[in-house]
Chain A
Amino acid sequence: MRHEITLHVNGHEHRLQVESHHTLLDVLRRQLGLTGTKHGCDCGECGACSIWLNDRLVLSCLVLAAEADGAHVLTVEGLAASGEFAHLQEAFIEHHGMQCGFCTAGFLMAAAALLRENARPDAATIRAALAGNLCRCTGYHGILRAVQTASRMRR
C-alpha cells in the first residue's frame, strides 16, 4: 500500500510517496539520497542507522516511513551542516574515533544525543549511551576519548 507522507529532514520539508514496508532508512537513503546514514544489519542490532526522530535517537531501520509522517528528522548530514556539534566531529578526527568510517555517523548521532541531554557525562554514562553502536575497527578507545573531549570543549 502506498502512503503520502511529509517529512522535515535536516530542516527541509519533503512530500513523499512511500510503501507500507519502506523503513525510514530506505526513504532517507533511496528517495532523498542521504546516504550518510548506513545500512549495517537491517534489524536494529548494529546502530549504524542511528538518526534523530523528533529530537529522539532512533534506529531508522526499525521505523516504518509511514509512521514518521509529519516528523522532524536529523541525519548526520544535517548535524554536520548545522555546525552545532562541530566540536564533536573535530574530536572524532583528533582522537581517531573512526577508521573505516562506516559506523561513524551512528556514533555521532548517539553521542550528540547524549551531549545534548548531559553536557558533562562521566565515562560510564558515555559507555552506556554508546553501547548500542558497534564498531569493528577502532576498539572504541578513540570514540570514548572523542566524546570526553567534546564534553569538555562544550562549555
Chain B
Amino acid sequence: MNPVRKTQWLGRPFPRIEAGLKVAGGIRYLDDMAFGPDLVYAAIVHSTRPHARLVGVNTAPAQALEGVLAVLTGRDVPGRLGHALADRPILAHDRVRYVGEPVAVVAAVSPELAVAAAQRVKVTYEDLPGVFDSEKALRPDAPLLHPQVDEYERRAFVHPRAGTNLAHVCRARRGDMEAGWQAASTVLADTYRGAPIQHASMEPHGAVAQCHPDGTITLWASTQAPFVQQATIAQTLGLDPRRLHVRAAAVGGGFGGKSFVSIEALVVLLALALPGRPVKLVLQRAEEFTTTFVRPALLAHVRMGADRHGKLTALEAHYVWDAGASADALIELAWAAALAGTGPYAIPHVDLTSSVVYTNHTPAAPMRGNGMAEVHWAIEQHMDRMAAALGMDPMSFRLRNLIKGGDPVWDGQVMHATGLEQCLRQVAQAVRWQAAPGKPSSAGRRRGRGLAVMWSPVLRHMAISATAVVRLESSPAAEAIQPVVVEVGSPDTGQGFATLVVQLVSSLLGVPPEWVQLQPIDTARSSFSGPGLGGQLTWSQGNAIVRAVQDLRGRLLSAVAQAWDEPPGALDIVEGVIHSHASHRSLSLRQLVQEGVRLADGSVLRPELRGEGRFEPTAPDEAGDEQALGVVHFSTGAQAVEVEVDLETGTIDVLHIASAFDVGHALNPDLVVAQIKGGAMQALSATLFEQVRRADGIPLNVRLSDYHLATILDLPPTIEAVVVEVPQGDGPFGARGVSDHAGVGLAPAIANAVAQATGVRITAMPITPEHVWRALQT
C-alpha cells in the first residue's frame, strides 16, 4: 500500500465525530446509564485519621437500617491492589494510612440511604504517629507505613527498600561526575517544590458492577485503562480475569486520574456479595480530593555545572516524590523522571535518582505529563539561573545545550531527529524575545517574559502492546452503508482519539468516514491494549490500527485479484469500491461482503473480512542495563509567556502564552491545536492557583470553591499554538502524541517571566500573589 496516496482524511481538520451528540446532551457517561429497578447504590466509609491502627469497625448500626443490603469491611477482602506494586488494600485491613481511605463500603436501595448508613458505621482507631513530608519520611526514625513492603507482589523494575518508607528508587547515570564538576566554571545547586494537585476531571469517578448467573461480572467504569482495571482487580480478588468484563463508559475527563484502579474494586466486591444486582458508586466531589488520586508533590534537589563557554558539564538531581499511602501508580513516573530528568539537554556527566516515598497522604498518580511538568519546573528554572550566573541570555544558553538528533542519551541509545530547536525559536519569536519588554499597563506593575523547553519520554515499561481489529460486517439490504467495525482497547477520554480512528481507517481502507464504526470497549470482546498513558495513544494504538487495516485490505485485494486473475497491485479501493487499473473492472465492498467474488470456474471465493494489527514498540537492547531499555522515544516542545506583575499585591496577569510542540505529523491539526491550548491552560491553573492543602494529613480544601481552578476569566488575551512536524520514525505517518505534554513547560516559563519582571524567584508551586508579595518584601 502506498501510504502517501492513502491519506485522504489525514493531516487536515476533521470534525469530532461525537461533537453533535455532545452539544445536545446526548452522550451517556457512567452516571447517565440506566441499570433498571434492581440498581443498588454504594457509599464509602472513609478513614478520618491520617495514620491509625484499626481497632474495630462496627457495622451493626448500618446494617440495622431497612434497605441496607450489604456492608463490607477489610475483614472481607484480604488482598492488595497494584499493577506494578501491590501496596493498596481495597478496604483498610489492620491500619489506615490516609484520611479518605475506604474502611468499609455500604450498599443500599437509594443513594441517600447508602450515605446515611455509611455515617452510622462506627470505626474505632488508635492513632499512630504520621509522616507528612517526604524528606522526613526518609529519616531512620520515621514511622513506617508499609513495614513489609519488600514482601509485596511487584514487577521486576520496582525496587523497594525494606525497613524504610522508600517504595521504589531508580537511578540513571552516564559519564564521570568528578570530571563533570572539574570541567565546570559555574556550579549552582538549589531545591524546587511542586505542590500536590488534583486531576479534577469535571466528571467524578464512577463505576457499576453486576454479577451474572453464569458467574461472570460486568464492570462499567469511567476509565482510561479498562484492561489494566480488569487485570488488577481480577488478580487482587483471585478471580479468573475472563470472569471480569470491563466496559468503558464515555469518559468526562481523566488526565491520569482514571488510569489505575481507584474505586472500581469496591463495586465489584459488592456485586459479588449481591449476585444479580447492579451496584453503583459515583463519588462526591470531596471524595475526588481525598479518596481517588492526586498529582504527587515533588521535592527536586538539583546541582548543575557549566563551563565558561556556557556548555553544561554535569547534572546531579534527586527527585523525591510524595506517593502518599500507595506508590503503585508512580512507578513508571519515577522511571520517567530518572530517564528524562536532565531536561532536553546534551550533558556529558549525569547522575539522576528518583525516589518514591510513602507518606500519610492520599495516594498519588501521574497527572498529564507523567511527572515531566514537575521535573521541568525544577530544571527549566535552574537553566535560567545558570544563564544569569554565566552572564548569558537564557535562550542562547539553551540553544548551546539543546539535545540534537544523534546525540547520545543513555548507553546504547542516541537521540532521534527532533524539532526541539525549531519549537524554541518559534515561541521566542511569538513573544518577541529579542525586543525590549512591553510597557506595563500602570506604574507599580512590571512586565517580564519567560521561556522553557521540554521533553517527555514514552517508556517501554508503560508502552504495553496495542492491538486493533478492523472487520467488515454484513448489514441489511436496505442500508446504504457497508459497516467497517473497529475494535481497539483504549478509550477516547475526550481528546478526540475516536475521531482519529475514523480518519485513519477511512483513509487507509478507502471507504467513506461514515462507514467506520468504533465499538465501545468491552474487555470480553475488544482487543487488548495498555493504558492511554503518556499521550501515546495516537502513536501506539494508531500503529496497531494502520496494521489492522493493511491486513484487511491485503486479504480483500488478494482474493479479488485471484478471482480476476490480476496482480493485487493493479487493484485499489476508492470510496468503498474495489477497482482494477488494469482491467477497469470494479466490485463494491458491500457486494464482496454479501456475495463474495466469483472465480473463473464459477465457484465463489469469500475472503476473511477481518484484519488484525498489533504494535509493540522496539527499544534498545533489553538484555542491557535497566536504564538503557527505558525510553522508546521522546516528544519535545517549548513554551513562552509574557506576564505582568503587580508589585503591590503580587498578582500575576499572564498576557500571552505561546506553545510549540513537535508532534511528528499532525493527523488532525485542529485536535492538536485544541490539545496544546487546553493543556497550556490546565498548566496555568496548576502554576498559579492549585494546591491540595493539608494540616498534618488532614485535607483542608476538598471543594471547588476552596480549591481554585482556572476559569474563563484567567484565559490570557493571547494564547497560540505552533505545530512543528519532524516525523517520528516509528509513528503512524510519522505522528507522535501531544496531549500529555501540552503543559509541561508552562510553569517554569511563568516562573522565569515573574523573575524577569520582579527579580524574585519562586521555587515552590503554586506562584500565588501571596508567595510573590512575600518574596518582594525580603
Q: Which residues of A contact B (CB under 8 A)?
A: 21, 29, 33-43, 45-46, 48, 75-77, 80, 89, 92-94, 96, 98-105, 108, 126-128, 130-144
B24 engages A76 (CB within 8 Å): yes
Is B253 a contact of A100 with CB atoms below 8 Å?
yes
Say yes or no for B670: interface residue by CB 8 A criterion: yes
Q: Which residues of A contact B200 (CB under 8 A)?
A: 136
Contact of B285 among A40, A108, A133 (CB under 8 A): A40
Given A36-B25, A96-B674, answer yes or no on A141-B715 (Cβ-Cβ < 8 Å). Answer: yes
- Residues of B with C-beta under 8 A to A128: 713
**B674's closest neighbor in chain A, by CB?**
A96
B436 at the interface (CB under 8 A from A): no
Q: Is A127 in contact with B15, judged by CB distance below 8 angstroms?
A: no
Contact of A102 among B15, B202, B713 (CB under 8 A): B202
Return the contact of A144 from the options B671, B703, B712 (Cβ within 8 A).
B712
Query: B-side interface residues toward A, CB under 8 Å?
Result: 15-16, 18-20, 22-29, 31-32, 34, 112, 200-204, 250-253, 255, 282, 284-285, 493-496, 670-671, 673-674, 677-682, 684, 703-705, 709-713, 715, 719
Contact for B19 among A45, A98, A131, CB less than 8 A: A98
Listed A/B pairs (13) with beta-carbon separation below 8 Å? A35-B32, A40-B285, A77-B25, A80-B24, A98-B16, A98-B23, A101-B250, A104-B22, A104-B23, A127-B715, A132-B711, A137-B678, A139-B715
**A33 and chain B: residue at smallest CB distance:** B34
CB distance from B94 to the nearest CB of A (A): 33
| In the bound complex, CA of A137 to CA of B32 (Å) | 20
A89 and B24 in contact (CB under 8 A), knowing A131-B711, A139-B719, A140-B711? yes
Residues in chain B near residue A139, CB distance under 8 A:
677-682, 684, 710, 715, 719
Known: A34-B25, A136-B201. 18 other contacts (CB 8 A): A21-B112, A33-B34, A38-B29, A38-B202, A45-B285, A45-B703, A46-B704, A92-B19, A93-B20, A98-B16, A101-B22, A101-B27, A103-B202, A104-B25, A136-B682, A137-B494, A138-B677, A139-B681
Count of inter-chain pairs, beta carbons less than 8 A? 164
Asked whether A108 lies within 8 Å of B703 as measured between CB atoms, the reply is: no
CB closest chain-A residue, reference B716: A141
Contact B703 A140 (CB under 8 A): no
A41 touches B703 (CB 8 A): yes
* Residue pair A102, B711 in contact (C-beta under 8 Å): no
Contact status A42-B25, CB under 8 Å: no
Q: How far is the CA of A43 from the CA of B702 in the complex (A)?
A: 12
**Docked CA distance A61–B387 (Å):** 53
> A38–B222 Cα gap in the complex (Å)?
15
A20 to B250, CA, bound (A): 32
**Given the complex of chains A and B, what is the CA–CA distance between A142 and B200 in angstroms?**
20
B-side contacts of A100, CB under 8 Å: 201-203, 251-253, 493-494
Report B-chain residues with C-beta under 8 Å of the C-beta of A29. 31-32
In whole Å, how far is B311's beta carbon from the nearest beta carbon of chain A? 37
By the criterion CB–CB under 8 Å, are B285 and A141 in contact? no
Whether A40 contacts B202 in the complex (CB less than 8 A), given A93-B15, A101-B18, A101-B494, comes out as: yes
**Per a CB cutoff under 8 Å, which of A41, A99, A141 touches B704?**
A41
With a cutoff of 8 Å between Cβ atoms, the chain A residues found around residue B712 in the complex are: 126-127, 130-131, 133, 135, 140, 143-144
Residues in chain B near residue A77, CB distance under 8 A? 24-26
Main secondary structure of the interface of A (DSSP, over half): loop
Whose C-beta in chain A lies nearest to the C-beta of B199? Answer: A136
A142 to B677 Cα, complex, angstroms: 9
Enumerate chain A residues within 8 angstroms of B710, measured Cβ to Cβ. Answer: 139-140
Instruction: Kindly list chain B residues whose C-beta atoms are within 8 Å of the C-beta of A130.
Output: 711-712
With known contacts A45-B705, A136-B201, A93–B715 Cβ distance under 8 A: no
Asked whether B703 lies within 8 Å of A137 as measured between CB atoms, the reply is no
Q: How far is the CB of B220 from chain A (nearest CB, A)?
A: 15
The residue in chain A whose Cβ has the minimal distance to the Cβ of B706 is A45
Q: Give 4 closest A-B pairs by Cβ, nearest first.
A: A36-B25, A139-B681, A100-B494, A102-B252
Residues of B within 8 A of A89 (CB): 23-24
| Residue pair B681, A140 in contact (C-beta under 8 Å) | yes
Contact B715 A134 (CB under 8 A): no
- CB contacts (< 8 Å) of A42 on chain B: these are 284-285
* Contacts A93-B20, A100-B252, A131-B713; A40 near B204 (Cβ below 8 A): yes
Contact A134 B704 (CB under 8 A): yes
Chain A positions within 8 Å of B711 at CB level: 130-134, 140
A141 contacts across to B, CB distance below 8 A: 677-678, 681, 715, 719
Give every chain A residue within 8 A of B682 (Cβ-Cβ).
136-137, 139
Given contacts A40-B203, A43-B703, A45-B703, contact A98 B22 (CB under 8 A): yes
| B31 and A39 within 8 A (CB) | yes
Q: Is A43 in contact with B285, judged by CB distance below 8 angstroms? A: yes
Q: Which residues of B contact A76 (CB under 8 A)?
A: 24-25
User: Are A140's CB and B25's CB within 8 A?
Assistant: no
B721 closest partner in A (C-beta): A141
Q: Contact check: which of B16, B32, B282 meets A93 at CB < 8 Å?
A: B16
Contacts of A96 in B (CB 8 A): 16, 670-671, 673-674
Q: How far, in Å, is A44 (CB) from chain B's closest CB? A: 8
Q: How far is the CA of A141 from the CA of B18 in the complex (A)?
A: 20
Task: Considering the complex, give the chain A residue whose CB is closest to the CB of B282.
Answer: A39
Contacts of A101 in B (CB 8 A): 18, 22, 27, 250, 252, 494
Question: A44's closest neighbor in chain B, by CB?
Answer: B705
Which residues of the partner chain B approach A48 to less than 8 Å between Cβ atoms?
202
How far is the CB of A5 from the nearest CB of chain B, in Å? 19
Residue of chain A at shortest CB distance from B24? A80
Q: How far does the alpha carbon of A38 sit from the alpha carbon of B203 in the complex, in Å?
A: 8
CA distance in complex: A40, B284 (Å): 8
Determine the chain B residues whose CB is within 8 A of the CB of A93 once the complex forms. 15-16, 19-20, 23
Alpha-carbon gap, A143 to B681, bound state (A): 13
Q: For residue B688, give the distance in angstroms from its CB to the closest CB of chain A.
A: 13
CA–CA, A130 and B589, complex, Å: 49
**A80 to B202 alpha-carbon distance, docked (Å):** 22
Q: How far is the CA of A142 from the CA of B496 in the complex (A)?
A: 15
Residues of A contacting B495 in the complex (Cβ-Cβ under 8 angstroms) = 99, 137
Whole-angstrom distance between the Cβ of A95 and the nearest chain B Cβ: 9
CB distance from A110 to the nearest CB of B (A): 10
For the complex, give the distance between the alpha carbons of A48 and B22 in Å: 13
> A46–B494 Cα gap in the complex (Å)?
18
**Which chain B residue lies CB-closest to A97?**
B23
**Nearest A-chain residue to B200, judged by Cβ:** A136
Query: Please, which residues of chain B bring their CB within 8 A of the CB of A102?
Result: 29, 201-203, 252-253, 494
Give the residues in chain A near B681, CB-CB below 8 Å.
138-141
Interface centre among A35, A48, A108 (most CB of B within 10 A): A35
